[in-house]
Amino acid sequence: MIRIVLLMALVGSACGADKAKDCDAKRGNFTAAVEAVRADHRACAVTADCTMVDLVSDCGPFCSLPVAIEGAAVVEQAVVDANARYCGGYKDLDCPDIALDCATIGPTCDNNLCISH
């Protein structure tokens, strides 16, 4: 009986670790897909060339990202596509809450790139 309980406890903790890996993988894949597109849409000459794009996803909360106004629609579509591709089932994994520390100033154009602080 003790062996069964111990085995169940070990399996349960392994499942918890697997869930955490799955949560991290989904968030990581989502972020990488969006960043790959955003990298081509950050160029600016002045701050007025920049805007923020909200990352609305089923993979939990994310901070908004600075992008060039001209590329905002492309990045927004990348968010939608990445959410559909990578975030399915995220809520079913009962992933832990994410504490965000988002930029409070931005967007600005710095060295010809849209950034936030």
Q: What stretches of the chain adopt beta strand conformation (E)?
A: 50-53, 65-68, 108-110, 113-115
> 3: pLDDT confidence band, cut at 50, 70 and 90?
very low
Among 12-26, 43-57, 74-88, 96-110, the minimum mean pLDDT is found in 12-26
| Pairwise CA distance, residues 108 & 10, whole Å | 50
